[in-house]
Structure 1
Amino acid sequence: MADAELLHDEGAARDWLDRAFAPTAEQWARLERFAALLVAENDRQNLIAASTIPTLWVRHIADSAQLLTLDRGGQGLWIDLGSGPGLPGLVVAILSERPMLLVESRRRRCDFLRAVVTELGLDHVEVAEAPLERVATRPAETISARAFAPLDRLIDLSARFSTESTHWLLPKGRNAVKELALLPQPWQNLFHVEQSRTDADSQILVGVGKIPAKQRGKA
């Protein structure tokens, strides 16, 4: 995605979603409804920065959907860590039938996630209301985390869910290269950097593989 089209406005974001995924009428309706629910709930709890609401489709919907383009063909369990308002997990779940586990420790966030899952009929989505440390281990085909923890801690906590074929999709903003350089070398070797479609200054760490057990927790 080195030459990725940069999405500058809401119209461009919607056009890109249409080209990239050809959503059905039902999927478009679900995306629209999720966006509306997200904005409404933001008045009750701080899910997203209020300043990003005018560019919601760029900053949150397309920003989440781009992760799915980096994991084409996947069918197994997708685990979204620190899912918060369901970004990227709920967007991915609307655009695909992938089994999705949303991990979130905050009760009010989980109440919102469950309400959205029920209203949109996303039967392939499960919400785990617990710190990641208390979530039962299961093999993940894909692990994502949009705003969960510093990279070294994120990987250390989630390594037990990884297999040799696990895909890691980790948006890290402007600090992606810097955070990657601080990891133990065996961890670094699993990842490469992709440019975000929604922010010229943001990057995504993309990796494949199982975190070597003997390296966990060591700098």
Structure 2
Amino acid sequence: MTLHNDPLAALGVSRETIQRLEALVALMGKWNPAINLVSKSTLADAWSRHILDSAQIYRLAPPGPLHWADLGSGGGFPGLVVAVLGAELQPGSRFTLVDSDQRKATFLRQSCQTLGLKAQVLAERIDAIAPLNADVLSARALAPLTLLCGFAQRHLSARGTALFMKGASHASELAEARGQWAFEVDIHPSVTEAGAVILQLKGLPHG
């Protein structure tokens, strides 16, 4: 259940974009039994647990055309959702979805084709691909923050923004990461899950 405002209403997206997101839910339901994209228990509430949860980070991205890279895209969250939103709201933007699982990468590619998205899918390890120089780097339930900061150092542009979705343990992860990395952080409460946050990081070491 949404705790605050509907992110999609706040973004003012069109009915066409809503329909694309509904089609994504249908694709997820079709593929999930075979490759376990998300926990089966979340499928009944997929709109809130996955679509709205992912959509809320879009408002934190800088304005204008940009390169958005999503790490560990897996079932498409938040990567496919922000790519759908970007197709309407920032059509000059490009999106890169990274997941080393070949089956999940196939799902991501098929979804991009079905939804009409011009997103690149890389089925490789995050630490093995060439630096992406992304303006925005996102990840959802992927790895501890210390490891995510290392990914950001490699793949985020010098003035880029990292948007990492974290659960109730974010405070301890922040404390540990600050012992190893220098960065600025804004903490945004999740609108879909009590205790969860989006960590908006800037000023991370580059290169």
- TM-score normalised according to structure 1 size: 0.85
Match for 1:196: what amino acid? S
Letter in 2 for 1:103: V
Which of 134, 139, 143 pairs up with 2:137? Answer: 143
1:158 is aligned to 2:152: yes
Q: Report matched runs for 1:1-219 at 5 Å.
A: 7-8=2-3, 16-96=6-86, 97=91, 98-123=93-118, 125-185=119-179, 187=181, 189-211=183-205
Structure 2 CA distance for aligned equivalents of residues 103 and 71 of structure 1: 19
SS of 2:198's equivalent? strand
Supply the AA of the counterpart residue of 1:126.
Q
Residues 62 and 45 of structure 1: CA distance in aligned 2, closer, same or farther (over 3 Å): same
TM-superposed deviation, 1:188 = 5.1
The one-letter code matched in structure 2 to 1:41 is W
CA–CA distance in 2 between the matches of 1:150 and 1:186?
13
Contact 2:8 2:55 in 1 (8 A): no
Q: CA deviation at 1:183?
A: 1.5
C-alpha change, 1:72 and 1:154, in structure 2 (3 Å) is: closer
Structure 2 residues without counterparts, runs of 5 or longer: none
Query: 1:216 is matched with which residue?
Result: none
1:49 & 1:171 partners in 2: Cα distance?
17
Q: Do the aligned residues in 2 keep the contact of 1:52 with 1:59 (CA within 8 Å)?
A: yes
Q: Supply the distance in 1 between the matched residues of 2:130 and 2:52 (Cα, whole angstroms).
A: 30
Determine the C-alpha separation between the residues in 2 that align with 1:188 and 1:53.
Answer: 38
Please state whether the residue corresponding to 2:199 is helix, strand or coil.
strand
CA-CA distance at 1:187 after TM superposition: 3.0
The answer as to whether partners of 2:49 and 2:192 remain within 8 angstroms in 1 is yes
Matches of 1:137 and 1:118, distance apart in 2 = 25
2:186 partner amino acid: H
CA distance in 1, matches of 2:181, 2:52: 28
Equivalenced residues, count: 202
Would the aligned equivalents of 2:20 and 2:115 in 1 still touch at CA under 8 Å? yes
Amino acid of the residue matched to residue 112 of structure 2?
Answer: V
Letter in 2 for 1:122: L
Contact 2:157 2:206 in 1 (8 A): no
Report sequence identity in percent.
35
More strand by share: 2
Shift of 1:212: 5.8
- How large is the RMSD of aligned CA atoms in angstroms? 1.9
Deviations 1:170-211 (A, max 9, x none): 011111111000013573542122110001121121112232
Query: TM-score, normalising length from structure 2?
Result: 0.90
Contact 2:159-2:202 at 8 Å conserved across structures: yes
Q: Which runs of 5+ in 1 are unaligned?
A: 1-5, 214-219
